[in-house]
Chain A
Amino acid sequence: MDHAAFILGSWIGTAVAVIAYAAWVLRRGRALSKHASTEEKPWT
Chain B
Amino acid sequence: MTPNSGTGTSATRRLGVLVIVLVISLALFGLQFSAEDVVQGSTVRIMYVHVPSIWTAYIAFFLTAVCSGVYLSRRQRSLAWDRVAGASAEIGVLFVAVSLVTGSLWGRLTWGTYWVWDARLTSTAFLFITYVGYLAVRRLDGTHRQRARRSSVMALLAVLEIPLVHFSVNLWRSLHQDASVADPNAKVKLDGLMLFSLFLGLVTFTLLFVWLVLHRQRTMLLEDSFADRGLDVAIAERRNEAGVQ
Contacts and interface: CB of A to CB of B under 8 A. Distances in A.
Interface of A: 1-4, 6-7, 9-11, 13-15, 17-18, 21-22, 25-26, 28-30, 32-36, 40-44
B128 interface: no
B59 interface: no
Contact of A28 (B97, B106, B219): B219
9 contacts: A3-B42, A6-B106, A11-B49, A26-B8, A29-B218, A32-B226, A36-B222, A40-B221, A40-B222
A14 B222 contact: no
B231 to A, nearest CB: 15
Interface in B25-43: 27, 30-31, 41-43
Nearest to A4: B42
Interface stretch (B135-143, B151-159, B173-181, B208-216): B208-216
A37 to B, nearest CB: 9
A28 B223 CA distance: 9
Contact of A17 (B23, B94, B105): B94
A12 to B, nearest CB: 10
Given A32-B219, A44-B9, 12 more contacts: A1-B42, A2-B43, A7-B43, A7-B45, A11-B49, A14-B98, A18-B98, A26-B6, A26-B8, A29-B6, A29-B218, A40-B222
A27 to B, nearest CB: 8
B26 to A, nearest CB: 9
B86 to A, nearest CB: 13
Nearest to A29: B7
A4 B46 CA distance: 10
Interface residues of B, number: 40
Complex A-B, nearest 4 residue pairs according to Cβ-Cβ distance, in ascending order: A29-B7, A30-B6, A32-B222, A10-B102
Interface of B: 1, 4-9, 23, 27, 30-31, 41-43, 45-46, 49-50, 53, 91, 94, 97-98, 101-102, 105-106, 108-109, 208, 212, 215-216, 218-219, 221-223, 225-226
A14 to B, nearest CB: 5
A17 B98 contact: yes
Contact of A11 (B5, B31, B219, B225): B31
A22 B212 contact: yes
Contacts of A21: 91, 94, 212
A44 B12 CA distance: 12
A6 B1 contact: no
B98 A11 contact: no
A29 to B, nearest CB: 4
B219 A10 contact: no
A22 B20 CA distance: 13
